[in-house]
Structure 1
């Protein structure tokens, strides 16, 4: 990501940079750069790819047409971030990384009202630098080479925002520590191909039955769904969804939605 002002203000170590890179292990948890067709906010000369294609500040990614699944780590300045997230919401296929400023107008307009799912990450991220930098922390200088991790965290909690059902599935199945929040629970109308994420579909089935369900019952209900027809390993996906999603195992192959 380019042109970001700081990484959380006074909480972060000081450095002469406004460019902060996505932690590579986070991107790998989402499937790696090959998962995404485009990063429209790539840094100039960044040390690793974040998608199959990149726009930098020289390309003016906000003004360019976007195609395919997008990875978006946008500038975090208040006057700009809403434009980037708004464009991704209109595009409808991608994942954004941003600070969890849940109370702001831009977050309400472009995230709460537009996303299919969120993953609030546990702890605070440590971003990386696009160029070698010297940080001043506690009165001493710390040299970080190009691509290295900043010595202090971003200064605020982060959230991954999924636009599109398939991107919501990516968050639900990432294994990243945090809280997954599905925002759009769709009615299952298989004949019309209206489907949500695996988490959403399993939640909807359990909610409709209003009691714990067996794994075999879920298999029978989901066997004819479009998602199952598209995935030859769909039974494994159902089991993975139960294990990683907001569900509780009651023993003997019986499951229920997790209680808050």
Structure 2
């Protein structure tokens, strides 16, 4: 549920493309930012907006596409993801932003997808180019392996002790 395109007056929900999830080849224990049951993120458990996934206890291997509400609205989600330490998150590749250098660099690995990621709108239509590039962040060995073998783009493993 992330804002990946300019969408003035429209929803800021943007869903991860199915082909990206398929390339990861994983089943997740939890999607803490799910639009709801029946969504295509392969997760055994989901938290929706009504559940307030940020306030819930997370367990297992997580896939997180956080909501981007207001300035840096995704940062509390990113903090929780990094603290949880097990899974894959997708965020803007805003490499010039202070939050990127404070939080994203604490991942174990990053993957910068090749080309423009086309996110899916709530109505099922495919959006245009995102306003900014995206990056997949990995925490844990399983997540690193999924990113490394996905073939989605540039994989970068970060040094231990970078946080």
TM-score, normalised by the number of residues in structure 1:
0.57
Change (3 A) 1:49 1:119: closer
What is residue 102 of structure 1 aligned with on the other side? 95
Matched, 1:57 2:65: no
Residue 166 of structure 1, aligned match among 134, 139, 142:
142
What is residue 155 of structure 2 aligned with on the other side? 180
Greater helix percent: which structure?
1
5 Å-filtered alignment, 1:206-245, equals none
Distance 2:129 2:108 in 1: 27
- Between 1 and 2, higher relative CO (CA 8 Å, sep ≥ 6) is seen in 2
Residue 20 of structure 1, aligned match among 11, 14, 17:
14
CA-CA distance at 1:46 after TM superposition: 5.7
Q: More displaced, 102-111 or 89-98?
A: 102-111
TM-score, normalised by the number of residues in structure 2:
0.88
Q: More displaced, 47-56 or 68-77?
A: 47-56
Moved over 3 A (4+): 44-47
Alignment gaps of 5+ in structure 1:
133-146, 187-260
**Equivalent position SS for 2:137:** strand
In the alignment of these two chains, the number of paired residues is 160
What is the root-mean-square deviation of aligned Cα atoms in Å? Answer: 2.0
What is residue 121 of structure 1 aligned with on the other side? 113
5 Å-filtered alignment, 1:248-259, equals none
Matched, 1:8 2:2: no
CA-CA distance at 1:45 after TM superposition: 5.7
Distance 1:127 1:50 in 2: 17
Tell whether the 8 Å contact from 2:12 to 2:68 is kept in structure 1 after alignment: no
Change (3 A) 1:67 1:47: closer
**Equivalent position SS for 1:96:** strand
